[in-house]
Structure 1
């Protein structure tokens, strides 16, 4: 967890997505759907809608560019600035996923302006605060999973109910904030660099440097023990897996 004794975390007002970003939304914004869980080989479970399954097999870099492109489409301020090896800024409106995958290793810097009103990834602290339901003086703050101690109410997970595939967002029980799938379905990218042990002086936006970014929430692929609201995992920014997606956040001005 990020809320440890001795650490003061100040969160500015923000909003966070009710659902993980769907395949439909990702394809509308980016022009393509890279998800493994689609087509005849991986159809949705009975009664579920393919387009409403969460997008996966995307890297942290893909998610960052998606956020800026969605902000542009919605007339909002872009939060991210990505400088390429040649010193130019990325062309968020036109770059395609394959070019992101090819070029991202040469990107020189990526910064986030949290004062902008556009779409972005949640910080790890924002993610955990939302997953826990936001009220430290009530029982659900300390629930094992987001919204319940009963994992089957809130989460798709391995060797239980996932059937080894992703599921349409929002079908299980929401937490206090009305957020779905914060435990299970897909792990979710956060903005922060990964640090296995958060310290009292770690900034609210995470460590200043690192080699991997944070995933939170557990997935269809994970056993129950991995779905705790306190669990975190590292992955390199260019990694993409069929158990890993994201949800959106925005700073509220």
Structure 2
């Protein structure tokens, strides 16, 4: 079997370039769903020199995970949310009040501005929907037995409601966020993702920082060396600084400013005094421990409304512990997802047929018969040999061609390891088994020779 296809984002990006945006988005949008790998390690959390709730600074060990390179942007949110709402998910009305990019911004789609007007509950539900859309097992559940997927309502979830070893997407814990933010310097007490150097408008989007979108968010990844900074009250010389690529050691953008990013943890001002805050993979205090009459969740990184050193708390610092009620949304608050480095068994969500032994149904792939020798008989494709993970990384061996790759997100598009081309399976023709090559529309019959 060929090596595993890189990931769904690479697949989607390739599909978009080949099929002229068949899925309805820009190439920039597809490229900006990438994730970075954060290896197992430790992070120094907190600060001894600033706010009381950041003390004492302490080390936390964390298991490896993946994190979004960019903040979740509007195109990606809409792509997932549209599918979600057609499949039993419900989001609050606040997401409809989001602020898109300005009409005059012509360099690329206005939909690659960070999603905003997202409350914590909607952020968590969207993570679940993103998982299900890609064929991953969701991680958030309404019940401690983890039988009812969290898709609607406002539930104050606890750690027992989360499958922490699942393959799906979730919000980072506060510790995971700080570890990712510090990049190659996890043991440093640095203020920003690039260190402690002087912050000016050429490095991040904060209040009156001088970017062309001032008093609003910038497109995700805007500070990549092409940022344009003009004089403003708080640009602090950024307009005369040669722009550089402000990416941290893990390859992440917009860690500082732009929109604040929701985290999993409940906020407790004295949490760092609790020995549990130093446990491996700590996930913050539990809901029942909170003394606050209006419990709040952590949101990190500051935003375009934040001031820099003129703010006594300097909410742009990595260690700052901003927090908000989970039911409140704002145009300066969004999200960035993580997922653990775990995989699901191949087609784990397939449902056994009630009347025919060894027959299964996969909601995106259809019916198939599972033999005792790994080969399966598919209704359209005949005998194929499957290999892969969940419904998100699937290699299928066709006897008439060789290995083809697909997943729930890409189907009916297939990538061929034989000739490195993309093919679309014909779902509507009168005959089964036909594939169309993307580059010249030539047709090949690798599936069953049978009429529909």
Which sections of structure 1, spanning at least 5 residues, go unmatched? Answer: 93-99
1:158 and 1:48 mapped to 2: Cα distance?
24
- Matched pairs, number: 234
Partner of 2:283: 205
1:228 correspondence with 2:279: no
Q: Please list, as runs of the form range in 1=range in 2, the aligned pairs for 1:1-253 lying within 5 A after superposition.
A: 2-3=45-46, 7-31=58-82, 34=96, 36-38=98-100, 42-43=102-103, 45=105, 47=107, 49-83=109-143, 89=148, 92=151, 100=152, 103-104=153-154, 107=155, 109-110=157-158, 111-136=161-186, 141-148=188-195, 149-151=197-199, 152-162=201-211, 163-172=214-223, 173-197=246-270, 198-201=272-275, 202=277, 203=279, 204-209=282-287, 210=290, 211-224=295-308, 225-253=314-342
How far does residue 159 in structure 1 lie from its aligned partner after superposition? 1.9
Whether the aligned pair in 2 keeps the contact of 1:56 and 1:242 (CA below 8 Å) is: yes
Whether the aligned pair in 1 keeps the contact of 2:65 and 2:340 (CA below 8 Å) is: yes
1:36 and 1:109 mapped to 2: Cα distance?
25
Decide which structure has the larger Cα Rg and report it: 2
How far does residue 112 in structure 1 lie from its aligned partner after superposition? 1.6
Which sections of structure 2, spanning at least 5 residues, go unmatched? Answer: 1-43, 47-54, 86-94, 224-245, 309-313, 343-452
Normalized against structure 2, the TM-score is what?
A: 0.48
- Structure with the largest fraction of helix: 1
Give the secondary structure class of the aligned counterpart of 1:34.
helix
How far does residue 44 in structure 1 lie from its aligned partner after superposition? 6.2
How far does residue 143 in structure 1 lie from its aligned partner after superposition? 2.8
Partner of 1:95: none
CA 164–115 in structure 1, closer or farther in 2 if over 3 Å, else same: same
Give the secondary structure class of the aligned counterpart of 2:264.
strand
For each residue in 1:75-97, what CA deviation from the matched residue of structure 2 results, as whole angstroms up to 9, or x when unmatched? 112111125xxxx93563xxxxx
Normalized against structure 1, the TM-score is what?
A: 0.83
1:24 and 1:242 mapped to 2: Cα distance?
16
1:44 and 1:249 mapped to 2: Cα distance?
33
Choose 236-245 or 44-53, whichever is displaced more: 44-53
Whether the aligned pair in 2 keeps the contact of 1:117 and 1:250 (CA below 8 Å) is: yes
How far does residue 221 in structure 1 lie from its aligned partner after superposition? 0.9
**Alpha-carbon RMSD:** 2.5
1:109 and 1:158 mapped to 2: Cα distance?
33
2:264 and 2:104 mapped to 1: Cα distance?
29
2:100 and 2:247 mapped to 1: Cα distance?
25
2:129 and 2:269 mapped to 1: Cα distance?
31
